[in-house]
Copies of this chain bind each other. A is one copy, B any other.
Amino acid sequence: MKVIKFGGSSLADSDQIKKVINIVKSDSKRKCIVVSAPGKRNPADTKVTDLLIRYANQAIEHNDFTNTQNAIIDRYQEIANGFGITTEGFSPIKQAIKELPEKKYPNDEYLMAAFKAHGEKLNAQLIAKVLSILGIKARYLDPADVGMIVSNVPDDAQIAPESYCRIAKWKLTEEILVVPGFFAYNSDGDICTFSRGGSDITGSVMARGLDAELYENFTDVDAIFSANPNVVKNPHAIAHMTFREMRELSYAGFSVFHDEALIPAIQGNISVNVRNTNNPDAPGTIISSKIEPNKDYPVRGISASKNFCGLYISKYLLNKEVGFTRKVLNILFKNGVGYEHMPSGIDDITIIMDENNLTPEIEHAIMTELQDAIHPDEMHIIHNYAIVMVVGEGMRNTVGVMARATKSLANAGIRLQMINQGASELSIMFGVSQDDADKAVQALHTEFFKKG
């Protein structure tokens, strides 16, 4: 059997859901459907999840939420109408939306989680109803019924391992299971959500629990591409990639599939197939644990992310100063700033950080404390820093990939501010100025993907 998950754009309205129904019907192995909340119908639209967040905030602040409530009801009503669901049939959905502010929650964070979760919950209920109307045996399966238990963090829950054997019991059900994504319950029965975009996680958890032969993740792109199509003209559609490649590329901007959602798939060795609801004939991209390398294409993909900065510290004989790095990391930690990478010379170190974590106040505090604690010869922050990643399992044991990469960057006149490649040899990381990031991706893509 296959677990099949649909993203918000695939479920944005009744027309989209008709495509989903056809996809489900076209393969009898598709026995478990995981659904997101209805997404945007057009670029100017608002996702139901965002409406629910507004609704929750208005409820918390005792503001008038009538318009928001109606806007949410309208979204589901449109879907119900599209499939001829009666007023009576739709009334439980409407009721559930209206009752949300009246229920009791341990605190506002749990309130927020419960409001958000109803985007998926009600959509799954509605779609189960639609399938039944169309004569397809289907049932809504709540995370509570499925036995999915999560940790006690309302907006960033983690799945409890005991969930998997409970899920396994549903493997032989005749009906198609329609499971809402994004949330489950803690041991007290309160709703907790995964991190944003976490319907991918539910799908992956179900796939592992049911030991699915494939986890199909339907979204709105034909495939994962070898580079951002907004930066590189006609990038390659990646037919097959590994979990590790996906993870490395997602670090610097490839956001098709949720990072945390890879974990259950990896643990259960379930291949993931990213596909397009709007073009179901396209084979999409398969992500699995291992694939045969292709010697002609040692690189799988090239990504860039622009939101970094570098803290440069130099001090003569730093290298002989025992505990230096620990001191620096402790000061960063105290100020709530994590580090990403730490390339070093002999007597200098460059600490690459997420620029978003560094307000001017935090920057000032860190610099002052570092000055006092370590007396550097030189210290400064490099803003406008971008990281470009060249990723591919095929780079391992292939001599010359670095030479090709650096040559293409040099030919494009790009100055390398940092280079970092450890023993995994799965990726090469370049630090460049933000202005050079797109040019770097283009140059590298031409080098590794445009043959002959």
In the complex, A342 Cα to B263 Cα: how many Å?
26
A residues 248-265 in Cβ contact with B at 8 Å? 248, 251, 259-260, 262-263
B419 engages A346 (CB within 8 Å): no
Instruction: List the B side residues contacting A46 at CB < 8 Å.
Output: none
B325 engages A247 (CB within 8 Å): no
Which stretch from A11-19, A71-79, A179-187, A314-322 is at the chain B interface? Answer: A314-322
Contact A319-B399, Cβ < 8 Å, known A420-B344, A422-B418: no
A345 engages B422 (CB within 8 Å): yes
Contact A420-B423, Cβ < 8 Å, known A346-B251, A400-B410: no
A425 sits at the interface (CB 8 A): yes
A343 sits at the interface (CB 8 A): yes
Instruction: List the B side residues contacting A419 at CB < 8 Å.
Output: 402, 419-421, 428
Number of copies: 2
Instruction: List the B side residues contacting A348 at CB < 8 Å.
Output: 422-424, 426
A382 sits at the interface (CB 8 A): yes
Best-surrounded residue of A251, A322, A411, A421 (most CB of chain B within 10 A) = A421
In the complex, A344 Cα to B263 Cα: how many Å?
21
In the complex, A328 Cα to B112 Cα: how many Å?
37
A403 sits at the interface (CB 8 A): yes
Contact mask A337-355 → B, CB, 8 Å, 1/0? 0111111111111100000
Size of the A side of the interface (Cβ < 8 Å), in residues, is: 67
Min CB distance A389 to B, Å, is 8
A366 sits at the interface (CB 8 A): no
Min CB distance A371 to B, Å, is 18
Contact of A397 among B316, B323, B411, B415 (CB under 8 A): B415
In the complex, A248 Cα to B422 Cα: how many Å?
20
A330 sits at the interface (CB 8 A): yes
Residue of B with least CB distance to A414? B399
Instruction: List the B side residues contacting A251 at CB < 8 Å.
Output: 319, 346
Contact of A421 among B263, B329, B347, B416 (CB under 8 A): B416
Query: 19 pairs across A/B with beta carbons < 8 Å?
Result: A247-B346, A251-B346, A263-B317, A266-B316, A325-B329, A326-B330, A341-B343, A343-B420, A343-B421, A344-B420, A345-B422, A345-B426, A350-B424, A400-B406, A402-B406, A403-B407, A405-B406, A418-B421, A419-B419
